Amino acid sequence: MPRRPPKKPDPALDLSTHLVALGNLTDLFDPATLFPRPAPIELEVGSGKGLFLDTASAARPERNFLGVEIAAGYARLCAARLARRAAANARIIHGDATWLVRGLLPDACLDAIHVYFPDPWWKARHRKRRVLSPTFLRHAGRVLPPGGVVHVWTDVEEYFLESLEVSRATGLFAEPAAVEPRPAEHDLDYRTHFERRTRLAGAPVWRALLTRNDRPASVVRGSGDEADSAGVPARRREAPG
């Protein structure tokens, strides 16, 4: 289902602190420079309406949260949520997550990566656009230290199983660990709007935790595989409403 156009934020709201343009970042970008104090950084790929980024950063003020969203309207919507409560530990980048991870982030700079309900790109000729590609996961292994984690959630079993096989093939992660769903008693108990809609409809959600092992990364910043999704923006599906 295509995304509905997001509501425009209040024009009086200053988004300059919380909204960052990917094109303004340098090749020597350090994500720690976006935050007023040092803390472990968690990256969300495809932040959509910003539910996870907003609630997670509010619940865990001792950590810094960075989102990246390809759609300009949703990036602004997410920034507005953060700006309304003057969130010091959360920022949103407008741009392509695949290039951010592959081309800009330095080694071992993140504590966790969250990939929730990425676009499955159903058509066979579009499969190379899937964000959980060999190149992306090799670079995820590069930007995470040993013990760092990738959270993978999707409602598409085939995509889920494929991503686990890709993670195994990199040699950079321990055997994927299952993640049990927690009871949801309130809208904010869901990590994303898409999770809320999926679970309320009674549909299954597949979840895994990929933990970085101590094997050296096999790629360097800026490298890629032409057969993968280099240059193809990472998209996450977003529930309407």
Q: In this structure, what are the phi and psi dihedrals at residue 31, rounded to the nearest 5 degrees?
A: -60, -25
Does the pLDDT of residue 200 top 90, yes or no? no
Q: What is the pTM of this model?
A: 0.87
Q: Does 133 reside within a domain?
A: yes
**Number of C-beta neighbours around residue 71 at 10 A:** 20
Whether residue 225 lies in the annotated active site = no
Q: Is the residue at 145 inside a domain?
A: yes
d(CA 152, CA 160): 8
Residue 201 located in a structural domain = yes
pLDDT per position as a tens digit, 108-132: 999 999 999 998 867 777 678 899 9
Is 121 domain-assigned?
yes
Q: Please check whether residue 12 lies inside any domain of the structure.
A: no
Structure tokens at 38: 């040092």
Exactly one of 54, 96, 119, 228 is catalytic; name it: 119
Cα–Cα nearest to 206, from 147, 151, 141, 129: 151
- Domain holding 128, by residue range, is 19-211
In a domain, 183, yes or no: yes
- The CATH number of residue 163's host domain is 3.40.50.150
Number of folded domains in the chain? 1
Helical spans, DSSP H, in the chain: 51-59, 72-84, 97-99, 134-143, 157-170, 193-200
What is the three-class DSSP state of 212?
Answer: strand
Residue closest to 217 by CA, chosen among 172, 162, 161:
172
Which phi-psi region, left, alpha or beta, contains residue 46 (left: φ > 0; alpha: ψ -120 to 50)?
A: left
Q: How many CB atoms lie within 10 A of CB 149?
A: 20
Span 80-90, pLDDT tens digits: 999 999 999 99
